[in-house]
Amino acid sequence: MLKWVTQSPSVRYVLPFAAFLAVSVLLPLLRVNPIAGEVIRLTVVGGVLLVVAFPLVDFRVTSWKGSVAVGVLVFLVWVGPDVLFPGYRDSALFRNPIVGYGVVPLPDAVRSHVPFLVFRGLRAVVLVPIIEELFWRAWLPRWIIRRDFTAVPLGTYTATAFILTVFLFASEHGAHWDVGLAAGIAYNWWMIRTRGLGDCILAHAVTNSCLAGYVVAGGQWQYW
């Protein structure tokens, strides 16, 4: 069974992301406490990534400055509307049964709990950029273009693949769909520009690092 999984091209790109979604759905249903939840996410999803998909990950970066700049820009776009327009996200556009009602605030008890913050930071800065870029930039656009996606070079552009990927990426972010849409456009464009998975992982990691710092240092827990 494991041999079949590791030899299936699509499964290797998709399974870590699917595992992350499954764990994220199950943990609240099982009422797992936040600290244990972060450990479970890192263990389960990280294990799947290492066993199934890690050989696919190319960490080579061709444009360090550009990747960092893209990551910072996406962070600014992510928090900008809330900073510039207080109450912006209270609109029915961002709070409805379709997109949800925002992130459930973290319990006060874990906001100063160092192990929790470390695990949450590792998830945001290390794990999520790898599994999401494998899925959203390295697999899905190429699979949309051609089912035999391994024959399609990274960064190949078609309007259909670009638009579908961007909108699906936005939908993943629920009540933050608007900034998720902008982030999807930026990351997709960067993949087309660099044709490098490592560049996109770095840009995504920079965005999430800035956001993590903003959350912890600024008390902006609504983003976590």
Condensed to tens digits (0 to 9), the pLDDT of residues 130-158 reads 999 999 999 999 999 999 999 999 999 99
Provide the whole-model pTM.
Answer: 0.95
Task: Please write the tens of the pLDDT for every residue from 61-73.
Answer: 999 999 999 999 9
User: How much is the pLDDT for 109?
Assistant: 86
User: How much is the pLDDT for 106?
Assistant: 85
Question: Nearest to residue 202, comparing CAs of 157, 153, 137, 143?
Answer: 137
Provide the token pair at 174: 């629920």
Pinpoint the alpha helices (H) of the chain.
Answer: 2-7, 9-30, 34-48, 64-84, 114-122, 128-133, 140-145, 159-172, 177-194, 197-218
User: How much is the pLDDT for 6?
Assistant: 58
Question: Domain-by-domain residue ranges, the chain?
Answer: 58-223
Cβ atoms of residues 177 and 170 within 8 Å: yes
Residue 50 has pLDDT above 80, yes or no: yes
Which CA distances in Å does 206 have to 73, 170, 199? 10, 19, 11
Residue 110 has pLDDT above 70, yes or no: yes
- The residue-averaged pLDDT of 181-190 equals 98
Residue 2 has pLDDT above 70, yes or no: no
- The residue-averaged pLDDT of 164-184 equals 97
Sign of the C-alpha dihedral computed for residues 21, 222, 165 and 137 taken in this order: negative
pLDDT, mean over the chain: 94
Q: How many Å is the maximal CA-CA distance in the chain?
A: 52
User: How much is the pLDDT for 101?
Assistant: 82
Cβ atoms of residues 187 and 204 within 8 Å: yes
Question: Which residues lie closer than 8 Å to 137 by C-beta, 6 or more apart?
Answer: 154, 165, 187, 188, 191, 197, 200
Residue 169 has pLDDT above 90, yes or no: yes
User: How much is the pLDDT for 8?
Assistant: 81
Q: Considering only 19-23, 105-109, 204-208, which range has the smallest mean pLDDT?
A: 105-109
Question: Nearest to residue 16, comparing CAs of 38, 43, 45, 40?
Answer: 45
